[in-house]
A = this chain, B = another copy of it.
Amino acid sequence: MLEKKKGLDPLFEPESIAIVGASSKKGKVGNILLSNIVNSGYRGKVYPVNPKGGELYGKEIYESIEELPEGIDLGIIVIPAKYVKEAIQKLGEKGIQHTIVITSGFSEIGNTEEENLIVEEAGKHGMRILGPNVFGIYSSKVDLNATFGPSKVASGEIALISQSGALGIAMIGKTAMQYLGLSAIVSVGNKSDIDDMDLIDYFSDDDESKVIMIYMEGLQNGREFIEKVEEDIPPEKTVIVIKAGRSEKGATAVASHTGSLAGSDRVFSSAFKQAGILRADTINDAFSWSRAFSNTPLPKNDKVVVVTNGGGIGVLSADAAEKYGVELLDDQTFLKETFQESIPPFGSTKNPIDITGQAGKEEYENALRRAFESDEIGAVVGLYCETGTTDDDEVAKAIKEIHDEYGDEKTAVYTFTGGEEAYDCVQWLRKNKISAYTETDEVMSSLGALYKRKRYLERMEEMEEIEEPDIDVDGIKEVINGVVEEGRINLLEDEARTILDLAGIPMAKGKVVNTLEGAVEAAEEIGYPVVLKVVSEDIIHKSDAGGLALNLENEKEVVDAYQAIYSNCKNKYPDAHIRGISVADMLEGGEETIIGGTRDNSFGPMVMFGLGGVYVEILEDVVFRVAPVSKREARRMIGEINAFPVLVGARGQTRKDLDALADIIYRMSFLMDEVDEISEIDLNPIKAFDQGKGARSVDVAVSIKKR
């Protein structure tokens, strides 16, 4: 027996494979599979197994697993479900440590019991299982196409993981047709053992894979996933996810604003962004971006130059640049100096550089060379628009020659717009590992993706270790235990106040009192004007019940309000348990904001920020992060809302205390992260005062998990 390989190496780099269920019958999975393995140029040993024996595709067929030699790296099973367990046992006995179970008919149709038995059997032999219910794998390292999909696969640097087997197969064909080079393709099927985490583990270390592209429908352990990506994926690799199921509505009923705004899709987008994962809306986008990441380096600076032979596509590319956050170099003097000599009469050195419809090989070569040689230029976009007279091939050749000359020094992407000839050029460039596209939109979308990744990496470089705030977790848990003992899930005002206090989050001054004298005393202590509000778990809509009085300016008003609140509430809710009346500072001025915490099924604790009122309720102008976050990240969240200018003095207003807001977000994120018992918190509103004057929460609602 060979030395046992670590992790998933034998799955992607097997030296020998046994195919249990290889079949001579055309069209059967066991036949296509063997044919693909043999025809893909796999150089290892292949051992087909079938009771009928004989020979197939030049390989001797073994009549049983028992007859196989020892020391085979990988087993692949394509026999009916009911025979799988026995096959696993026999493969295990032969010392096989990795097996792909292609066979379906297990947990995906409710047959979970049989699936568990298989996993148990594999466990006995220390064997790892991919599947069941998968299409196999492709691995460029050993030229292995062990799938029952298309036989032709273009090899390259993109590892493709699909949560859908069907779509995975279709994508094999699609990538091959577009010469999108793959290092591996794998579907996770029922994930009885090997799952997305294991694959991220493997590909993060795999030298052949520069891009990890995932088609994802759901993510049970989202938090673990993004933590793995953050920790394991090195800067030179990129994860691109097509997350399907955007329109899926969050199923859990939620009580808070924060909770109701945290639709699963919004949370996915936030979490992915936080981990530097690029989210693609469509397969086409994911393909376009993957091509750019696998063929061209990240830009060295933000300035982009577009070289074009047509004004029309030039204008379209400038539109697309704006759409995708790509910045065109605008220094007219520099552009003129750099490109003047290389453009024909009636051309333009304005960016896009218009080398005119007359431009052929020489003009493209000239202009591109200048762009490649200038350190001022971070990325080059070459556009070619088919003319009646220029030879498309010559332009493609010019591009290839430039790339041969300069290697991978400069970020460069290309579009050929036109018919068959233009398309052939795009394909030829693709075969030559140059990022070429058929649409102007695609080229800018891809460049935009490169810049997104670049900016993420720059942010990461400046990231400090997250310092923990001083939060009295034990004290907070004590408060919560009290609530639990009373069988409640919503905290009363004084309880919530205590928790915020222990978390270091400032609130409007206030106190819960039980006597008229107490109320007046509290008001004097706090300072007028004050707010009075009934404290009772039985009265939810306090304002409707007459349980709220605002803007009380003196003792008399406090006395009147105290009495009125008591009698209103007693009248309207005779059975309500009134625990007292809260007296609080009527904070005047300031901008209303909202900071909340919630707990996502997949990503765990999240923190939210937005402006209050209409902004959050109607415009949903909010931003989420997976908790905890650093103060710097909290500050960045504030800047991401659309209405941000309101907070920095737009419309003649004053600049608000953003540091104070960031501190609350930061503390809120740790509170959610460290106190599991809390399910949701809304601080709504939090008044943000002028710079240096702080921010205070006016109202707080905390709910804890049901036991």
- Chain A positions within 8 Å of B, measured between CB atoms, are 27, 29, 32, 109, 135, 147-150, 152, 162-164, 166-167, 169-174, 176-177, 215, 217, 242, 244-247, 281-284, 309-313, 315-316, 318-323, 346, 357, 385-389, 417-423, 439-441, 613-614, 617-619, 621, 642-643, 645-646, 650-651
Contacts and interface: CB of A to CB of B under 8 A. Distances in A.
Contacts of A174: 417-419, 422
A417 B162 CA distance: 15
Nearest to A318: B247
Nearest to A176: B419
Contacts of A313: 166-167, 170
Contacts of A320: 282
Given A419-B150, A419-B174, A166 B385 contact: yes
B173 A421 contact: yes
Among A163, A167, A389, A423, find the residue whose CB has the most chain B CB atoms closer than 10 A. A167
Copies of this chain, tallied across the complex: 2
Contacts of A643: 614, 618-619
9 contacts: A150-B386, A152-B419, A170-B385, A176-B420, A244-B312, A282-B440, A283-B417, A618-B651, A619-B643
Contact of A642 (B32, B619, B645): B619
Given A617-B650, A618-B651, A388 B310 contact: no
A173 B417 CA distance: 9
Contacts of A618: 642-643, 645-646, 650-651
Given A311-B166, A388-B149, A282 B316 contact: yes
B439 A244 contact: no
B619 A167 contact: no
Contacts of A177: 419-420, 423
Given A417-B170, A614-B646, A645-B618, A284 B441 contact: yes
A111 to B, nearest CB: 12
A312 B166 contact: yes
Contacts of A421: 173
Contacts of A420: 173, 176-177
A299 to B, nearest CB: 20
Among A281, A313, A316, A323, find the residue whose CB has the most chain B CB atoms closer than 10 A. A316
A284 B147 contact: no
Contacts of A27: 389
Among A148, A170, A242, A247, find the residue whose CB has the most chain B CB atoms closer than 10 A. A170
A300 B321 CA distance: 38
B439 A170 contact: no
Which 4 pairs across A and B sit closest by C-beta, in order of nearness?
Answer: A173-B419, A164-B312, A167-B312, A166-B310
Given A167-B312, A282-B439, A614-B646, A172 B387 contact: no
Contact of A29 (B29, B319, B388, B651): B388
A32 B388 CA distance: 8
Given A173-B421, A417-B174, A440-B282, A245 B386 contact: no
Contacts of A173: 386, 418-422
Among A245, A246, A319, find the residue whose CB has the most chain B CB atoms closer than 10 A. A319
A241 to B, nearest CB: 13
B319 A387 contact: no
